[in-house]
Structure 1
Amino acid sequence: MPKRILQGVVVSDKQQKTVVVKVERRFTHPLLQKTVRRTKNYHAHDEAGAFKVGDEVMIEETAPISRLKRWRVVERAAKA
C-alpha cells in the first residue's frame, strides 16, 4: 500500500522534534454544489527541527512514532 503524502503549513514548532501541520482539503458539497474547505492538524516528526511556523511542507504517512505522531516531514514544499 503506498504511503499518502499531504501538503500543509506548519502552525506550531514548540515541541522538540515535532511540528503541527495544518492540511486543508477542498471538496464540492454533494447537495449544495458549493466548494467547502475543511482543515485538519497532523503531528509530524521533524528530526532536525529545521521547519518553523509558516513553512509549507510535505508530510508522509509512516509507522507510529508516538501516541500522536503517524506522519513525518519529507521536504519543504514549493511556494505557488
Structure 2
Amino acid sequence: MSVINLKRTLTGVVVSNKMDKTVTVLVERKIKHSLLGKVLRVSKKYHAHDENNEFIQGDLVFIEECRPLAKTKSWRVTKLVEKYQAA
C-alpha cells in the first residue's frame, strides 16, 4: 500500500523576516462572492519555519503544512519560486 501526501501547499510572498527561523508569508486568493458574483481578493498571513534564515522580504515561496512548531507556526517553507530583485 502506498502512502499519499495530503499536506496542503500554498504560494505566497515573504513580507517579514525579522524573527529568528521564521518568516511571515502573505497568501492571496481570488474568490467569487456567492450573491453578487464579484471576484474578490482575499489575503491571509501565515508564519512559516525557515531553518537557515535564507529567505528575504519579497521572495515568492511555497509553504507546506506541518505539525505545530510554535503557538502560531504550523507551516514550513519548502522551496523558493522566485528571488526578489530590487528595482
Q: TM-score range by the shorter chain?
A: over 0.9
Q: Distance in 2 between matches of 1:71 and 1:4?
A: 9
TM-score if structure 1 supplies the norm length?
Answer: 0.94
Question: For residue 15 of structure 1, what is the aligned residue in structure 2?
Answer: 19
- Structural mapping, 1:1-80, within 5 Å: 2-78=6-82
Is there any run of 5+ residues in structure 1 with no aligned partner, and where? none
- State how far apart, in whole Å, the 2-side matches of 1:73 and 1:25 are: 18
TM-score if structure 2 supplies the norm length?
0.87
Aligned partners of 2:81 and 2:33: how far apart in 1? 28
Partner SS for 2:58:
coil
- Count residues in correspondence: 79
Runs of 4 or more, structure 1, over 6 Å off, are: none
Identity of aligned residues (%): 52
